Structure 1
Amino acid sequence: MLRYALTWLITLLLSLSVMVSALSPAWSQTNLDLSLPSLTSSNTQVINGEEVRLGRAWLRQFRAHAPAWEDPISEDYVNTLVARLLPHSELSGIDTVVTLVASDRLNAFAVPGGVIGINAGLFAFAEQEAAMVSVLAHELGHLSQRHYARGKARAEQMRLPAMAAMLAGMLVAASGGGDVGIAAAVGSQAALYQDQLAYSRRFEQEADRIGLQAMASAGYDPQATVDLFRTMQRQLTLQGGNPPEFLLTHPLTESRITDAQSRANQIQVTHPRAEDLAYHLVRARALLAIYDRDPSQAATRLKRSNPPEAAQRYLAALIDAEKKQTDSALRQLDTLAQAHPDLAMLPASAVDVALKAGRVNDAIERARRQLRLMPGYQPTQLMLGEALLQTNPNDAYFILNELADQRPEDPQVFALLAEAAGRSEREAWGHLARAEHQQLTGHIDRAIQQLDVAQEIAKRHNDLTASNRIKQRREAFIGYRETMEEFQ
């Protein structure tokens, strides 16, 4: 079972922040665009930039301390849901970043900068896709209404230092600082939150309003939100003084449930979506991650929710793979893929099983076959790149290099790209990619050291393209470090 969940206080303070040609030129330009903007004036657009600057810097620190649920298939699915909701969420002009957390606790969060976090435990709790969508829609509602940036005039002068100090306390607590970190976090957020406490219920209702309309416009029944609230309320009653983390950060009152019910009754879903098997497959993956020491518990819990038979067969195949019964697992996955040819995650899961079993050539063949039929499916591109590291690092490099352009916030991509570059004799670019991985995971000083090594190698080989790129990234990394120091 995943035992790496953050303490409830850390998650509480996190969600409160809501309120209150070797390497291609395209990849280089994409990463340049990731520079965290500075605050230069007091207009609304710049405040937005400051939120992005702090939120993205915080994400890097969060990755350094929180356990990641590294599952490209599940992450791609969540990104698909977010993309489906975004056009209806009154949120524009910002790129969202999804991070999956290896925690069995029921929680989700959003912070300034468009960062959306989902615990594996939320999949276990939400038995239907509409329930998961309701949570994502609510978090997008918080972002669209800029609840962190809003508040009383008195909070205006203390907002940014309060956020920096609050996140610093969270990071201390997350890294084992215990009572010291908790005290710092609580003390720092108290003054800001004291002024905004009266606004919290209004913020939740605003996020509910945006979320209900967004999910209905995307084809989901808003009644799922009310049903989820009722389920949480029952759980709160059963657990007494130990409520789910999500309720600690999202106050749930009878008046809020009544208001949500009233709004849901008035919203019509003009183009309802059919229940998606993909959700149940990802839920199976989450349950297996949570119950990794006893997969039979994952199967029991999945069956309890009466999922489609295909989801149960899928989980059985994944369990077989865990038991090293690779042939059985692949046969079941192939049969499911033939029955559901539009579900990209089914052949991708077979690629994953083959790769983890050490059947590299089989994984490569399967990945290439899928990408001919479903070009651009990023989880399979990632796995193909990883598999090719064993047989053709040069091909792996070009695949991962292209993927890095598409996923500039993905540490997994840059970790593999660094290895591919090193194995294909692109030493300077390999150190640069490793530096990108280090900065994305919050290890900024190590990242700058990697850039220094890369620069020495580039000069030795007279690689002016690499040298210029490294200089540009070093300047950006220095800016990242200055922002991260606000949390220390």
Structure 2
Amino acid sequence: MSHVRLLPRFALGLSLSLALPGALPAHAQGFDQSQLPSLGGASPSASQEEFRLGRAWLRQFRAQAPVWQDAIVSDYFEGLVARLTPYSQLGGLNTTTVMVDHRSLNAFAVPGGVVGINSGLFAFADDEAEFASVIAHELGHLSQRHYARGSERAGQTQLPAMAGMLAGMLIAASGGGEAGIAAAMGSQAAVMQDRLAYSRRFEQEADRVGLQAMATAGFDPEAMVRMFASMQRLARLQGGTPPEFLLTHPVSDSRLSDAQARVAQLTVADSYRSDTLYDLMRARALLSIYANTPDQALSRLAQDGADESARRYLGALISARRGQVDSALGELDRLAAEYPDYAMLPASAAEVALQANRIDEAITRAERWLRFMPSYLPAQMILAEAQLQRDPRAAFDLLRRITDRYPENPQAFNLLATAAGRSGYNGWGHLAQAEYLQLTGRVDRGIQQLAIAKSAAQQENDTALTALIDQRREAFLDYRDALSTFN
């Protein structure tokens, strides 16, 4: 029996709860410390230890993995997770998402409430329901706390077992493949047979929770069966070197049969399909995968039978990359008129204008859409980046609001650091840079930045900011302690 089938199906379970005590002084409004990340505050469904390690894992992961930074796709992914979460038996557990820039099929769930995907999942899943089936399965692992239950059954001490498991997941999810899975096994070989039998049960439990969540959320649960069948074919074609997801989530005939039987018993809620929107996201994913040969992305999209609008969308993005900006913007505007409910289309046009250095046009386009949908994060981020070139103070104010609402967004803090520096708020600039550093796993450097931020805040006579920096230093020290588990 191969060791490689034993890993990340156990590495599952909890939440990014965000809490720091106390109210923010009036001087510092716009940077709500109650929303800043903390490693404390575990929910009843997960231990404090799991929270701390899972959140530390996310920071370590961002430092080492090829993270896929696409605000438009990230917003879609988070929305899909949010649609499934209320039906996934998570008990109010918060989740956060991360995307990996890698063409292989993979998805994972990690203690800390982290749900991750590779860009390759979009390439493999033909429609939205198939994509959702993988996410629903991972949420099922989280809700059932399979990692903690697996450790308890194996009679292991949770801290070293969990740290070893997450370290291996970090390597595997970063593209280390079987080496990462073998590393995660470590001393677990002695309990391999027991773990494997139990893990098959975990897979079945996650399937059942996921199928029910899909049906209740209005997705066709039959899509999970289709995904299993496709994965089974892929595993047979690739023999001993299938993608990580199939190594850690093997699809057996009995698992496929069980899923089919469960589907027959489910009643699907009023179905909501957005395969056109999904195909638009697939277009972005394929363009990322085939960045150096974009025509291959277009061929792949057409070959898979994607909606014509998605092919037109991808063609526009390719045209923009080739310098045909007016043509690209014209096509995006036509698509936006045809699909007025898809915020990502006008946001894409603003993004194209920004990338072409048409700053004023990017600002106009982003502001126009935000009048209709003020909280749409991709348009906010595009507007903030464009405003950095024209009105850094406006960018600073906008990014303060964004980081209040999205305190786990490294890119927002990175932009905020630039905006603060250009606006003359040096204390805020160094604090934002410190937050960016700790969110991306470089906590020691973040602590150094906090010292510089405090000095700048004192020079600016900003007592509220100085107090906030002191509080953040305590949190950073806790982050560092948790991260040391992986070293």
Work out which of the residue numbers 30, 33, 55 in structure 2 matches 1:28. 33
Pair 1:17 & 2:11 matched: yes
Change (3 A) 1:363 1:52: same
Range with greater deviation from structure 2 (173-182 or 434-443): 173-182
Deviation at 1:173, TM superposition (A): 8.1
Q: Percent of aligned pairs with the same residue?
A: 57
1:52 is aligned to 51
**Aligned-partner Cα distance in 1 for 2:239–2:171:** 29
**Aligned-partner Cα distance in 1 for 2:79–2:178:** 39
Change (3 A) 1:328 1:23: farther
Contact persistence 2:88–2:143 (CA under 8 A):
yes
Contact persistence 1:166–1:189 (CA under 8 A):
no
Q: Residue 118 of structure 1: SS of its match in structure 2?
A: strand
Equivalent position amino acid for 1:123 in 2: F
2:68 is aligned to 69
Equivalent position amino acid for 2:75 in 1: D
User: How much is the aligned-residue C-alpha RMSD, in angstroms?
Assistant: 2.5
**Aligned-partner Cα distance in 2 for 1:393–1:274:** 41
**Aligned-partner Cα distance in 1 for 2:191–2:392:** 52
**Gaps in structure 1 of 5+ consecutive residues:** 1-8
**Aligned-partner Cα distance in 1 for 2:327–2:6:** 43
Equivalent position amino acid for 2:29 in 1: S
Equivalent position amino acid for 1:28 in 2: Q
Deviation at 1:101, TM superposition (A): 0.3
Q: Residue 267 of structure 2: SS of its match in structure 1?
A: coil
Change (3 A) 1:305 1:259: same
Pair 1:278 & 2:283 matched: no
**Gaps in structure 2 of 5+ consecutive residues:** 15-25
Pair 1:224 & 2:223 matched: yes
Change (3 A) 1:161 1:472: same
Change (3 A) 1:431 1:152: closer
Which deviations, in whole Å up to 9, do the C-alpha atoms of 1:135-157 show, x marking residues without a partner? 01000000011111113746354
**Aligned-partner Cα distance in 1 for 2:237–2:375:** 46
**Aligned-partner Cα distance in 2 for 1:174–1:135:** 16
**Aligned-partner Cα distance in 1 for 2:173–2:255:** 31
Q: Residue 390 of structure 1: SS of its match in structure 2?
A: helix
2:448 is aligned to 449
Q: For 1:129-168, what aligned pairs fall within 5 Å after superposition?
A: 129-151=128-150, 153=152, 155-168=154-167
Equivalent position amino acid for 1:149 in 2: A
**Aligned-partner Cα distance in 2 for 1:234–1:65:** 32
Q: For 1:392-403, what aligned pairs fall within 5 Å after superposition?
A: 392-403=391-402
**Aligned-partner Cα distance in 1 for 2:70–2:472:** 28
Which deviations, in whole Å up to 9, do the C-alpha atoms of 1:356-392 show, x marking residues without a partner? 0100000000000000012210110011001000000
Q: Residue 409 of structure 1: SS of its match in structure 2?
A: coil
Change (3 A) 1:22 1:441: farther
- What TM-score results when the alignment is normalised by the length of structure 2? 0.92
Change (3 A) 1:150 1:183: closer
Q: Residue 45 of structure 1: SS of its match in structure 2?
A: coil
Q: Residue 441 of structure 2: SS of its match in structure 1?
A: coil
- What TM-score results when the alignment is normalised by the length of structure 1? 0.92
Equivalent position amino acid for 2:462 in 1: D
**Aligned-partner Cα distance in 1 for 2:108–2:328:** 35
Pair 1:37 & 2:36 matched: no
**Aligned-partner Cα distance in 2 for 1:149–1:375:** 40
1:4 is aligned to none
Range with greater deviation from structure 2 (65-74 or 13-22): 13-22
Pair 1:389 & 2:383 matched: no
1:426 is aligned to 425
Counting matched residue pairs gives: 474
Contact persistence 1:333–1:346 (CA under 8 A):
yes
**Aligned-partner Cα distance in 1 for 2:429–2:423:** 9
